[in-house]
Structure 1
Amino acid sequence: MELSKDSLLSSGTFLRESDAILASKTSAALGQTSKSATPGEPEEYDPEWLDLKFENLDLTCEDLILDDLEDNIQENLEDGLISEALDSGVDLGNYSKDVEKSLVECEGGAIKDYISQAGNICKLHKEIKTCDDILMRMENMLDGFQRDLGSISSEIQNLQSQSISMNVKLKNRQSVRGELSQFVDEMAVPEQMIQHIMDTPVSERNFLEQLHELSVKINFVKEQNFKEAFSAKDVIIILENLKLKAIAKIREYLLDKINSFKKPLSNYQIPQTAMLKVNFFYQFLVTHERHIAKEIRDHYVDTVSKVYFSYFKTYMRRVMRLQFEDSADKYDLMGSDENARRGFFSTKPAVNKNKSAVFTLGNRGDILTDFLEAPALVPHAAQKVDERYTYEQLFRTIMFALMDNCCREYLFLVDFFLVSGSAAQDMFSSVMGKTLEVVKKDTTQYVNESFDAVGNFLCLHIIYRYQVIMHKRQVPALDRYWDGLSKDIWKRFHYLVDLNIHSILECDVQKISNIDLRPHYITRRAAEFCGAIISINASFCDERVSQLLAQLWGAVEGFLNRLAKEFPNKKDQLILVINNCDLTLAIITERSREEGKEAEAINRTLNEKIQEFIEEVLLPHFGPLMTFVKEAEVLLQKGEIEQLRREENKVIQLVKSFANEWRKKMELINAECMKSFTNFKNGTHILQGALTQLIQYYHKFQKILSQAPFKNHPIRSELVNIHHLMVEVKKFKQTF
């Protein structure tokens, strides 16, 4: 019988289901066996109870119908083994039998395996059941745990909500307690405060501390009273009484301190220091009783203003007694004749004892460096030893005392009276205004009567430096005072310089006696004055000073030219100007740190005069040679060779004359230069310049002879070698 593909697939499905049924029956049988076994004894396998009968099982029945057979047909057709059998054309009947036989064999083998492992399977079944029981108990325990955890979680949430509620209540209570506690503390008036305000002296620290507390409580109660707090009405009367008592004690204390300034020979810095330690007193008065604060302020201004006025007026009068009796006057000018001032009955000149300091600086400049911030002079101590001082020294001590006191006073006003800016400046002016006026008046009066230009310029620079010091101390109180005083001093200084310039311009050289070639005393005065002014002005350069000194040098230069005309010889005129310019330049260079405009102008004039002198000193000795060189250069430039040829005899004479006399004439020039100039260094410099100029002339002379028409002239062999001249010139070079 030939099987179809569908029958074969149905048979395979049926076989798989039969295996499942067999396995279930086997398990049931094994279960019955397990139940019949005695507890505690090993189970024995009894094969007789298992009676499997397969005689009536027909796996090839065509009438076998299964519900899901059709659903698996397509799936079975896709099996690889079945598809291969169908494609290869194998007899399906035989193939089915072979498969059936294999299945029967496999089924029998499986049954034998089940039977052989029946004991182990029973044991496994028992262990599985035991595990199920254990797991069941564990499940019950876990269910109990889950129920307990659920109840614990709800309790935790309940506790958390209670904690949050309690925390909010605590914060609210703490906030209320803090504000209420602060309110009570600030509202309450302790017994300790009442005792200290009423009985403790003002100068003790406990009074100051309780005064701070009282001020805070008064402000707080005023604020609460404005808010209509009932508790404020209970303490406002007590605080008001304490305030009145404190104000009365403070007023009495401050008035006593201010009145102590009036005591003779009192050091008012001591009460000021004591007042600064309790500067809260004035702040308390300003806050709670303004009219008392104004009374204290007005009384301080009035008292201290009078004290400063009296002090500085007396101090200036005593200090000015220490000035030198002999000071510069209207006759102490650069252009004034030293012999012009004579006594009425005496032929001797009335010479100023301290006249050397009128135009020179000397050690007077130390007042701007070493003694700028030296302690102020003590008049009675200086009078005991009969010491005398220049005006700039007295001016410095007055201005230093003024600066020191003004700085201290300004800072005291700012710290104690709580003022700043324009208010501080106004109050300072109220205190020091009269004092500054009297100091400026007396200072300006002396300055306008002074003829000491160097002293005035020193005073001007003292002001500049003190102004810088006050700016470093951050005290701008005296800026207007310094500016006004410096303008007055500068005006007088400018006037004095102009006065000296006019004295030089109006100087009649014909009335000057004993005129010689040495530096004139007017030049020396001007040089010393310029050096002094340049040295002082080095730190605070002022272009106006340079302009004044330029005008002064112009006047001096004009005076020298007028003075030189008194000598008929031009050489003497040049020597006079050179000596005076050299002295002026040496003094200015020594005083100044670097060469300025003044030195440049003088040096330019000096070099011009030296060049003129060199020509004049060479002319008597080598005049024909110099004249020939100048004329020959012009002829060669024009190309007039024939006219130059006519000078052949002159050339021969010049060559021979120079060869025979050049050493002797150099000696004469050297002697003349050394004798003419007071500064040997300058004389040597001029001598070297003259000899160098001579070498240049002779070099030009040789160059002219090396050209036509003298190129082949035999006289060229007698020319002196230029190197011999240079060697000889070096012999006159001396080192100073």
Structure 2
Amino acid sequence: MAAEPVVSLELGLEDLDITNEDLNFAELSESLSRVAGNKLVSDALRGKGQQNDNIREQAKDLEVTLRQVEVESIEGYVSESGNLQELHEQILECDGVLDSMEDLLGRFLGDLSEISSEIKHIQKESLNLNVKLKNRKELHEKLSVFADNMQIPPSLIDVVLDSEVNSAEYLTSLQLLHKKLNFLRTSKDAQSSLAFQDVAPELSKLENKAVSKVKAFLLEQFSILRKPKTNIQIQQQNRLLRLKGFVSFIKQHNQVAYSEVRTNYTETVGNVLLSHFRVYLSHVSGLEVRVAAKGDVVGAYEGGSGAGGASGNAVGALSGVSRFFSSMKRGPLGQSPRKSSRSPQDRGKCFELGDRGDVLGKLDESAVVPHVAEAQGLRMPCEQIFRSINKLLLDSSSSEYIFSTEFFRDQKVFQETMGEVVALISEHLENWVQDITDPVGLFLMIRINYAHQLVMQRRRLPCLDSYLDNVNMVLWPKLKLALDNQLQSLNNAQVSLVKQVSGKVVGGRFVVDAKLAKTVEGIAKRFADLLLALTSLNVGFNQGQLERSLERLRTTMEDLLLSLAKGVKQAASGAGVASGVSSSAAFLVRNYGRVLQTLRDGADALSPQGAPGAPAEDEGHGRQTLEHFEDVYTSNVSLYVEEELGAHCGDMIQFVKRLEDALGLGGGAEGLEADKDLAGRILAHFKGSWQDAIQELNRQVHSDFAGVSKALAKEVLKAALTQLLLYYTRFLEVLKQLSPDMLKDSVPTPSILYEMKKFR
């Protein structure tokens, strides 16, 4: 430890204080107290491994150690002094290089500043040039438009004045002339220029000349439409539509000339179509056959009319309309419609629908050509005539509406062209319908008109909306009047026929007068035909006002039958027959059976599934009507059967009903000894007479229902035999409770069934 300070003396550092300033032991003590918790510090303070515990001595030792370390550090720096000198020189050299680079970069920055100024100057000049260029372009464009429109090329003058209007370049020249005229009349700059005074009069002269030539040309083209057998639709599509540019020019430049052209067209086409439709209406009316005339009513009967006080791709598809007209033979406009007469057999079927409803599936077929139909000897009912007229009107109107709106760009042209045609057909329809009393035909016409409304909706053409609505306003009141006429005929028939109820007693049975029976059955048949026809046509159409009218008609018909049945019963009593209930019930069964049979035959037509667009779950008025007559018919058959069985097995029936009530109240067989004896007598009588009773039932049923369908007689007989067997089975059940021993003497049910099968 003593040798180290010697080295320091050799360096001459004895007076050099290279240590820190004198220690402040108070501060040191405070610092040590703050870190006293540190293990290393605490160990050092305890002087672990040292013998001397004196803190001051330790401090001196530490100072000596620090001095030694400082000396060693200085010696290290001295030994590296050469390297430090070399490093110092390198640093100075780098400073020089950096100074030169700083100077270079400074000059470069100055150059960049100059370039930036030049760029800003160039940008400013570029913006100025762009503004100038834009202004020059706008000026050039305005001057170009001005120059183009303010000068009249010789070719334009030559074409407008000398060329034919139908030449290829004429329409192009008109478009150029329109452009120049429009410029002069809309540009204030042009109107304020000196050139305007020179150019405007010349262009006006060309305009007047062009209008004059175009007007003459269009009028000439329209005159072609007046020629006989000219197909107007073909001419419109192939010739006139290409001229719509001329119409546009004359419309824009001379309203007076345009009005003249438009009026000429509407009068020409309107008169041609009006003439065609007049001829067509005259000819097609001669094809009509009246299925139901004024005197054909449901309640018709001999000795009275029964009517009472009621009073009696559109363009392509349509191009054949004019061809249709041109194919018609002309005839005198005033000739009267020829109505085809019908045989008495046909008159009896006047309310049958038959195949008349097929017209609803043929709405898209072409209209009837009268002279072709006449050559074939065809006659058709009113609904087919109506369909043909309306089909022709729809196609003609659709074609004309599409053409006029495209050619004239004015929907009012259609009204001016077709107004008289539509008015003619409306007037014809109103007058024609006044003579139609056929409710089936009228309702078919309503269905056809509704279908035509849908056609026009699909075509998106509103041109005939008011006409088709007016047709509905004409047809519905007429249909109601026709149905009221039928209803009144039933009321009149009821008043008259009730007074005529008569008959005779045959074998103890009152038989209704055959003439009266036939009359009423005819009424029932006509009623059923009318009810079936209108109800089936209304399936899927669901017109409530028709359903209400049919309900009134049905109620009136039932009142008629019930009144006559009551008259039959009274007549039977007056003839000395004990009870006329059986004859009355047979009368109702015959007539309700006839109605029901007709409805059953047309049951498929009454089903909603048979009508397009009808909801599958909707039972519909037709099905309800059928069910109503099923119920009424069944109740009257039951009444008739009860009366007939009462005549043959009345004692057994009364006994069964009385004993079922007695036994059903909880009472036993005790106290019913008298009934046992009666039951024995009834059983013995039945055992001896049941076969005769079945034969008599068969004879009586076929006698009561002679002249009607065999199916009806068999149905009533089946109901009677079934009810007889049911009563006998119930009688055996009563015997089983009353006196089981009697069952051994009863007739076996299989034997009765076997016998009944002979008559079914």
- TM-score using structure 2 length: 0.73
Residue of structure 2 equivalent to 1:63: none
Larger RCO: Structure 1 or Structure 2 (Cα < 8 Å, ≥ 6 residues apart)?
2
Q: Does the CA-based 8 Å contact 1:197-1:242 persist in structure 2?
A: yes
After TM superposition, give the deviation of residue 227 of structure 1 in Å.
7.6
* Range 303-312 or range 73-82, more displaced: 73-82
Q: Tell me whether 1:574 sits opposite 2:585 in the alignment.
A: yes
Give the Cα separation in 2 of the matches to 1:232 and 1:419: 34
CA gap of 1:180–1:730, structure 2 versus 1, over 3 A, is farther
Instruction: Tell me the equivalent position of 2:277.
Output: 312
Instruction: From 90, 100, 121, give the equivalent of 1:158.
Output: 121
Residue in 2 that maps onto 1:543: 544
State the alpha-carbon separation in 1 of the partners of residues 394 and 652 from structure 2.
Answer: 72
Distance 2:249 2:523 in 1: 70
Structure 1 position 276 matched with structure 2 position 303: no
CA gap 1:550/1:734 in 2 versus in 1, 3 angstroms: farther
Q: Residue 279 of structure 1 aligns to a residue in which SS?
A: helix
Tell me which of 418, 427, 441 is aligned to 1:455.
441
Which of 353, 358, 363 is the aligned partner of 2:350?
358
Distance 2:404 2:70 in 1: 125
Q: 2: CA distance between counterparts of 1:75 and 1:583?
A: 142
Residue 198 and residue 135 in structure 1: after superposition, are their counterparts in 2 closer, same or farther (change >3 A)?
same
Aligned with 1:367 (options 353, 359, 362): 359
* Residue pairs, 1:257-656, within 5 angstroms: 257-273=221-237, 274-324=239-289, 328-337=292-301, 351-352=343-344, 354-355=346-347, 358-370=350-362, 372-420=363-411, 424=412, 428-507=414-493, 509=497, 510=500, 514=515, 520-561=521-562, 565=567, 568=572, 570-591=581-602, 592-594=605-607, 595-632=622-659, 646-656=674-684
* Distance in 2 between residues matched to 1:258 and 1:674, nearest whole Å: 78
Q: Deviation at 1:682?
A: 4.8
Q: Distance in 1 between matches of 2:23 and 2:56?
A: 21
Pair 158,445 (structure 1): closer, same or farther in 2 beyond 3 Å: closer
1:200-219 matches, within 5 Å, as 200-219=163-182
Tell which deviates more after alignment, 672-681 or 359-368: 672-681
Q: Distance in 2 between matches of 1:329 and 1:521?
A: 17
Alpha-carbon deviations, 1:418-438, whole Å to 9, x = none? 334xxx3xx544433433343
Q: 1:289 Cα shift?
A: 1.5
Say if 1:76 and 1:82, in contact at 8 Å, map to a contact too. no
Which residue of 1 is the match for residue 218 of structure 2? 254
Please give the per-residue CA displacement for 1:591-650, whole angstroms capped at 9, x wherever unaligned: 333334433442232122112022123212321011223344566789999996544421
User: 1:578, CA displacement in angstroms?
Assistant: 1.9
The alpha carbon displacement at 1:52 in A equals 8.5
Tell whether the 8 Å contact from 1:519 to 1:583 is kept in structure 2 after alignment. no
Match of 2:12 in 1: 54
1:76-95 to structure 2, matched below 5 A, reads 78=27, 89=54
Quick check: 670-679 or 352-361, which moved more?
670-679
**Aligned-partner Cα distance in 2 for 1:323–1:298:** 37
- Which amino acid in the other structure matches residue 288 of structure 1? H
Q: Which range is displaced more, 469-478 or 606-615?
A: 469-478
- Give the CA deviation at 1:150: 3.2
CA distance in 1, matches of 2:301, 2:447: 30
How do residues 29-178 of structure 1 correspond to structure 2 at under 5 angstroms?
Answer: 54=12, 57-58=14-15, 78=27, 89=54, 99=63, 103=67, 109=72, 113=76, 116-178=79-141
Is contact 2:648–2:693 with CA below 8 Å preserved after alignment? yes
Aligned to 1:42: none
Q: Aligned to 1:506, what secondary structure does the other structure show? A: helix
Alignment of 1:3-22 (within 5 A): none
| C-alpha deviation, 1:224, in angstroms | 1.9
Q: Say which SS state the counterpart of residue 225 (structure 2) adopts.
A: helix
SS in 2 for 1:362: coil
Q: Using the TM superposition, give the Cα deviation of residue 690 of structure 1 relative to its aligned residue in structure 2, in angstroms.
A: 3.6
Instruction: Letter of the 1:545 partner, please give it.
Output: L
Distance 1:211 1:655, change over 3 A: same
Q: CA deviation at 1:317?
A: 1.5
TM-score normalised to structure 1 length: 0.75
- Once the two structures are TM-superposed, the CA of residue 451 in structure 1 deviates from its matched residue by 4.3
Partner SS for 1:244: helix
Tell me which residue corresponds to 2:685. Answer: 657
Residue 615 of structure 2: aligned partner? none
User: What is aligned with 2:610?
Assistant: none
Structure 2 Cα separation of the partners of residues 101 and 402 of structure 1: 132
Partners in 1 of 2:759 and 2:409 — Cα distance? 71
Which digits, 9 at most, give the CA deviation of each residue in 1:282-320, with x for residues without a partner? 333333211222222233333333223222112222222
Find the residue that maps to 2:400 and give its secondary structure: helix
Instruction: Tell me, yes or no, if the aligned pair for 1:197 and 1:245 is still in contact at 8 Å.
Output: yes
Evaluate the alpha carbon distance shift between residue 732 and residue 648 of structure 1 in structure 2; reply closer, same or farther with a 3 A threshold. closer
User: In structure 1, what residue type is equivalent to 2:492?
Assistant: E
Residues 262 and 146 of structure 1: CA distance in aligned 2, closer, same or farther (over 3 Å): closer
Rounded to whole Å, the distance in 2 between the matches of 1:330 and 1:95 is 151
Residues 463 and 486, structure 1, Cα contact 8 Å, conserved in 2: yes
Assess, with a 3 A threshold, how the Cα gap between structure 1 residues 122 and 85 changes in structure 2: closer, same or farther: farther
- What SS does the aligned partner of 1:361 have? coil
Alignment partners' CA distance in 2, 1:644 and 1:102: 150
1:222 matches 2:185? yes
| 1-structure distance, mates of 2:751, 2:114 | 129
AA of the residue aligned to 1:301: T
Q: Distance between the aligned counterparts of 2:759 and 2:244, measured in 1?
A: 73
CA, structure 1 residues 518+719, in 2 after alignment: closer, same or farther (shift >3 Å)? farther
Paired amino acid for 2:535: I
* CA shift in 2, pair 1:383/1:227, >3 Å: same
Q: CA deviation at 1:381?
A: 3.0
Q: For the structure 1 residues 655 and 88, does the alpha-carbon distance in structure 2 shift closer, same or farther, using more than 3 Å as the test?
A: same
Matches of 1:448 and 1:53 in 2, distance apart? 153
Q: Aligned AA for 2:534?
A: I
For the pair shown, the structure with the greater C-alpha radius of gyration is 1
Structure 1 residue 545: Cα displacement: 2.3
Write the distance in 1 (CA, Å) between the matches of 2:197 and 2:525.
90
Unaligned runs of 5+ in 1: 1-14, 23-50, 61-65, 342-348
Aligned to 2:36: none
Distance 2:162 2:171 in 1: 13
| Cα pair 1:309 1:434 within 8 Å, conserved | yes
Cα distance in structure 1, aligned partners of 2:189 and 2:257: 25
Give the 3-state SS of the residue equivalent to 1:471 in structure 2: helix
Partners of 2:189 and 2:452 in 1: CA distance: 54
Structure 2: which 5+ residue stretches go unaligned? 33-44, 306-340, 502-512, 573-579, 608-621
The more displaced of 693-702 and 541-550 is: 693-702
Q: How many equivalent pairs are there? A: 658
In 1: Cα distance, 2:688 partner to 2:518 partner = 33
Q: 1:286–1:293: 8 Å Cα contact kept in structure 2? A: yes
